[in-house]
Structures are given as structure tokens and as C-alpha cells.
Amino acid sequence: MIKRGKSKRKRRKTSPRTSSVDVQKRIIRAILIMGAVALIIIFFFGDHGLYQLYTLKKERNQIQENINQLREEKIALEGEKSKLQTDQKYIEELARVKYRMAKKGEKVFKVIEKKDKKD
């Protein structure tokens, strides 16, 4: 048998005091949520946030690669410097190739290529 009729639930009467307490709780909860969101945004995008650390790490790696490249170039230049100071054959070769110099009695021929004329 199913009873139909008044439900046994009693409705709570809202008093002005409980509604203001509920409003205060909602306001406090909203402030805490906004504060948490602000802290999360600062954590990721602030001056010392994760995004800034990521970009600094990337920039650091690029600078380190540049430093390594400059060190290799320095070593190569120091090797060439020592060759220029000591190796007479290297100096002669460089003078012939780069500055088109020749020893006495040698003949220098300059090859001129013909340009193809398209008619």
C-alpha cells in the first residue's frame, strides 16, 4: 500500500541570520578561489614563474652553444696563427692562393672564362 499525502520533509524556514551566514560563506569561498587562481597565474607566468624559467633555460642553452662554437673558432685561429709564425710553406701557399703572388721567374696565367651568349 502506497501512502499518498503530505511528505514528511519539513521545510526549513530561512531566517535572515542564516542567509547572511550563507552569503558570507559564499563570499569567503569566492575570495579564496580568486586568491588561488591568482597564485596559480603568478606561479606559471610571474617573473620567477615556470614560463620564465623555461625561456631562461632555452636562452642559456643557445648561449652555451654559441660559447662552444667560439671556443672551436679560437682554437682554429690559434692553429693558423702558429702556422703563420712557423710554417714557411703554408705562408707561400697562402700568398699564392689568396694574394696571387709568384716567385721571381714564375709566370702567372689568368684564365678568363667566356660567357655564354644566349640569342
Average pLDDT, stretch 21-47?
91
Q: Is 110 helix (H, G, I), strand (E, B) or coil?
A: coil
Is the pLDDT confidence value at 5 over 60? no
Predicted confidence (pLDDT) per residue in 56-66, tens digit: 999 999 999 99
Q: Give the Cα separation of 12 and 9 in Å (integer).
A: 9
> Cα–chain-centroid distance for residue 107?
57
* CA–CA distance, 55 with 60 (Å, rounded to integer): 8
User: Given this model, what pLDDT does residue 45 score?
Assistant: 81
What is the DSSP-derived secondary structure letter of residue 104?
A: T
pLDDT at position 33, please? Answer: 96
Residue matched to cell numbers 648561449: 63
Whole-model pTM? 0.51
Average pLDDT, rounded, for the chain: 84
Provide the pLDDT for residue 1. Answer: 53
- Give pLDDT, residue 118: 67
Length of the chain: 119
For the segment 77-106, the average pLDDT, to the nearest whole number, is 89
